[in-house]
Amino acid sequence: MDEKVIMAGFGGQGIMAMGKLLAYAGMLENKEVSWLPSYGPEMRGGTANCDVMVSDSMIGSPVISHDATAALIMNLPSLLKFEMDVLPGGKIIINKSLIDVETSRKDIDAYYVPVNELASELGNPKVANMVMLGAYVELTKIVQIESVLKAFVKVFGENKSHLVPLNKEALLKGAEAVKK
């Protein structure tokens, strides 16, 4: 197992947090992990993306260079920027709520999930990123949902643990969306 995931979207969509949760969950399962953010002068509203790796063996370069096993795409600019970086046979999950085009790639598995709508159904549009992550975890089984929830408390602190049930629902909702 050697997952290299690009996560990308607008600043504020919880891209970095989604990446951290996956990396932390992987670490809790004793896997090798890395999380590499893009960083720039813009603090809000710009594009945000990070490279996350989860592997059974030592991670070499933490940089994804045209060798992503998956891409989690939250907005249109990110689709255009990163769809070519996915390896043939890799996965791309596209936020159908904000992106009304399909990927131009024919050699990868594409999934279209309306993560914003699904999050809104749960009563909190902020958990759209968790819906996306849930879909990805379901497709790859890279980590257990429970590990993501444990990671949630580690990353955001005990005082956010009341949000665990909501985030669990969001993860499951995302998982369900790609099961069909």
| Site residues (vs another protein, CB under 8 A) | 20, 23-24, 27, 32-37, 39-41, 59-63, 65-67, 154-155
**Rounded to the nearest whole angstrom, what is the least distance from the CB of residue 6 to another protein in the complex?**
15
**Rounded to the nearest whole angstrom, what is the least distance from the CB of residue 151 to another protein in the complex?**
8
Is the four-CA dihedral 95, 97, 102, 104 of positive or negative sign?
A: negative
CB of 7 closer than 8 Å to CB of 75? no
C-alpha–C-alpha distance, residues 84 and 93, integer Å? 13
CB of 177 closer than 8 Å to CB of 118? yes
**Rounded to the nearest whole angstrom, what is the least distance from the CB of residue 63 to another protein in the complex?**
6
Nearest to another protein of 55, 124 (CB atom): 55
**Rounded to the nearest whole angstrom, what is the least distance from the CB of residue 52 to another protein in the complex?**
9
Nearest to another protein of 150, 173 (CB atom): 150
Nearest to another protein of 23, 115 (CB atom): 23
C-alpha–C-alpha distance, residues 128 and 118, integer Å? 7
Nearest to another protein of 67, 146 (CB atom): 67
DSSP secondary structure, 81-122, as one string: HHGGGEEEEEEEEEETTT--S--S-SSSEEEEE-HHHHHHHT
Residue type (1 letter), 102: E
